């Protein structure tokens, strides 16, 4: 029996993680659940999985939860997430929170020698050098949940990472992949949230439309697999069947294929190195699909992807600014305070003005993250 602490329980990845646990109750028990403010969605989960500990975003949510449901220990905020992540009863920490808020908890869980299943790419984008240094020091497994990084991780089983020639991340192209730059001037929030292939949360869906999501994945892949940015390619693959590929030094390419169901990489992270049946997921029918298509990913069409590559190559605090500015800008777009194309303009403005700090410590990262977000918000009248 493995005891799971799940950060981001009411989000898309969190709910699908609980679905996997639901299918294998003989193997997994939920020790702790952390969520933000969505009590209506959380209470049925709490009743079903009966976690020993619960973490909510703030004291107001705690009071509301206590009024509606008398339950086990309730903790609050970042300190609460750190406590449950380090708890002696936690075997696996699933970091599925949105944005960089899961960074502290992940670092402390690594120090406590927990296995980390990570769906929160912002943690590695913001502080990849700190996370990987601690993971190596404490010999902790970081198991990727993102479909692309899970695909690469699976392709590398039994292989030598030193023999990687390049990584090939595939991208669906998002909601607006067939639109020109001129057409993007008139797109709406509702349009942006209609992803053609995947069922994801709002923020990730918008990031997919701007291609920032793929840019963040490039930075994450750099840290997870120790590959230079020059050896990471992104190609357009509209079917989202090939989830990513690895080319080795002998030019052999290994690919991981599957349906667009996030429960597959989630379950693999929880059961690694074993594989279990996933009965609710359909088999991939290549005959029905018939053809797979691949196209060049053009930076001029997707400038956010170019900015992510450049921020990653620059290093230091630049990826922190990239992520913080993007999160703030996407939040403004979701509130309908800015247009779709203003997202990339706000991010570019912050990157242009930033003075880079090399090898930043956690405190510097957190300060820059907070200041960047404030500047983006204040710049919008």
Binding site feature residues for 1-deoxy-D-xylulose 5-phosphate? 121, 147-148, 172, 195, 208, 213-214, 217
Q: Which residue has the tokens 């913080």?
A: 324
Q: How many residues does the chain have?
A: 381
What is the token pair recorded at 111?
Answer: 């120090």
Annotated binding-site members for Mn(2+): 146, 148, 217
Residues belonging to the binding site are 10-13, 36-38, 120-122, 146-148, 172, 195, 201, 208, 213-214, 217
CA distances to 34, 74, 101 from 80, in Å = 8, 8, 12
Residue 169 corresponds to which tokens in the numbers above? 């991340």
154 close to 217: Cβ distance less than 8 angstroms: no
Q: Tokens 């020059």 identify what position?
A: 230
Q: Which residues are annotated as a binding site for NADPH?
A: 10-13, 36-38, 120, 122, 201
Contacts of 139 (CB under 8 A, 6+ apart): 113
The answer to whether the beta carbons of residues 118 and 142 sit under 8 Å apart is yes
Order the strands of the 253-257 sheet from edge to edge: 253-257, 242-248, 164-171, 232-236, 295-296
CA 8 to CA 191: how far, in whole Å? 26
Edge-first strand order for the sheet with 115-118 is: 73-76, 53-56, 28-34, 2-7, 92-95, 115-118, 142-144
Whole-number Å distance between alpha carbons of 259 and 93: 25
Q: Can you tell me whether residue 160 is helix, strand or coil?
A: coil
In 3D space, the residue among 176, 166, 107, 159 whose CA is nearest the CA of residue 138 turns out to be 107
């Amino acid at each position: 029996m493995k005891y799971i602490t799940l950060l981001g329980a009411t989000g898309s990845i969190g709910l699908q993680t609980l679905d996997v646990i639901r299918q294998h109750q003989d193997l997994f028990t939920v020790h702790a659940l952390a969520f933000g403010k969505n009590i209506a969605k959380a209470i049925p989960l709490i009743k079903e999985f009966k976690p020993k500990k619960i973490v909510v975003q703030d004291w107001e949510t705690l009071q509301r939860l206590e009024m509606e449901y008398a339950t086990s220990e309730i903790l609050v905020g970042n300190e609460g997430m750190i406590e449950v992540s380090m708890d002696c009863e936690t075997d696996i920490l699933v970091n599925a929170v949105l944005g960089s808020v899961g960074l502290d908890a992940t670092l402390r869980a690594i120090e406590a020698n927990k296995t980390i299943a990570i769906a929160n790419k912002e943690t590695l984008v913001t502080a990849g050098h700190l996370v990987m240094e601690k993971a190596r020091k404490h010999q902790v497994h970081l198991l990727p949940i993102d479909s692309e990084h899970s695909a690469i991780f699976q392709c590398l089983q039994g292989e030598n990472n030193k023999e990687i020639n390049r990584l090939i991340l595939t991208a669906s192209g998002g909601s607006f992949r067939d639109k020109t730059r001129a057409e993007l001037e008139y797109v709406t929030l509702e349009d942006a949230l209609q992803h053609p292939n995947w069922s994801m949360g709002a923020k990730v869906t918008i990031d997919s439309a701007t291609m920032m999501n793929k840019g963040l994945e490039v930075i994450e892949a750099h840290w997870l697999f120790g590959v230079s940015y020059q050896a990471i390619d992104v190609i357009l693959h509209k079917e989202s069947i090939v989830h990513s590929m690895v080319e080795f030094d002998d030019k052999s390419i290994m690919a991981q294929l599957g349906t667009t169901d996030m429960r597959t990489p989630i379950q693999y992270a929880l059961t690694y190195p074993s594989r279990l049946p996933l009965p609710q997921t359909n088999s991939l029918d290549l005959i029905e699909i018939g053809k797979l298509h691949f196209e060049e990913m053009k930076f001029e069409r997707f400038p956010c992807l170019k900015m992510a590559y450049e921020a990653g190559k620059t290093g230091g605090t630049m990826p922190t600014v990239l992520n913080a500015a993007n999160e703030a800008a996407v939040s403004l777009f979701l509130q309908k305070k800015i247009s779709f194309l203003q997202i990339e303009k706000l991010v570019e403005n912050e990157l242009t003005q930033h003075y880079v700090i090399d090898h930043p410590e956690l405190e510097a990262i957190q300060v820059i993250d907070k200041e960047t977000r404030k500047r983006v918000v204040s710049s919008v009248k």
